[in-house]
Homo-oligomer: A and B are copies of this chain.
Amino acid sequence: MERRDLHGGEARERPDPDGVAPLARITLGTQVYDALRDLLIAGELAPGERLSLRTVAERLGTSMMPAREAVSRLVADEALEVLPNRAVRVPVITLGKFRELTRVRIAVEGFAAAEAARIVGPRDLTAIREHDEAFRHEVRAPEPDLERAMRANRDLHFAVYEAAGLPSLIAIIEGLWLRIGPVLNLDMRSSPRRLAEGGAEAHHADLVAALSVGDAEGARTALAADIAGSAAFIETTGRLAP
């Protein structure tokens, strides 16, 4: 985990002198939560890695209280776990758990894709195409930037889900990504070249094509194939706990 300071400068003190009150409360606890959340989804925290409230607080430049709240919320999301030994760590996903999460993802995210296909408009569609294009461009590059590729992949997926117009469903999906993020990104990072071999490009193309013509079931199957493909690749790495 890299060093970063949450309140660099006094920007936090007086938000928005223009008069528009911030809709969302930006407490320190929330900021720590978001920081840890990004680290988890980006795979910068490896499964099994241990955290400490005090070190987290120190590295983010706050006291222990915001770290406590953030870790509590992440534990509630099952994105972190606190062992009976009173140790906080990134959960180690077993193979069985990974397969279970994959099945749930296919069901939930597949439903989101199907709903998106039914009501997607031209605005959402162009955004989706842009993310798809960005992903394809990054993967086909001679030296793919893994981080940007993963970000494009994530943006593409969530652009589709947001097109479904079901915010509560997006929250659920974010919770799922929060849990598979560590193992998924960590393994992807280990072998960037195989990123394209999972057939992600083809699945994405099918997905965009189905969305374009409003084919709900086509979108669902394309997305399911994408998830299954990446999951199968992860399993081949054999890094998952038995």
Contacts and interface: CB of A to CB of B under 8 A. Distances in A.
Interface stretch (A4-12, A44-52, A126-134, A167-175): A167-175
A168 B178 CA distance: 13
A1 interface: no
A232 interface: no
Chain B CB count within 10 A is highest, among A78, A107, A167, for A107
Contact of A175 (B25, B73, B104, B172): B172
Interface string A108-140: 100100000000000000000000000000000
A18 interface: yes
Interface in A43-85: 68-69, 72-73, 76-78, 82, 84
A9 to B, nearest CB: 21
Nearest to A108: B108
A103 B172 CA distance: 14
A18 B97 CA distance: 9
A25 B111 contact: no
Interface string A1-36: 000000000000000011001111100010000000
Contacts of A73: 72-73, 76
Contacts of A107: 108, 111, 169
Nearest to A101: B168
A94 interface: yes
A100 interface: yes
B76 A25 contact: no
A166 interface: yes
A168 B17 CA distance: 25
A23 B84 contact: yes
A7 B84 CA distance: 20
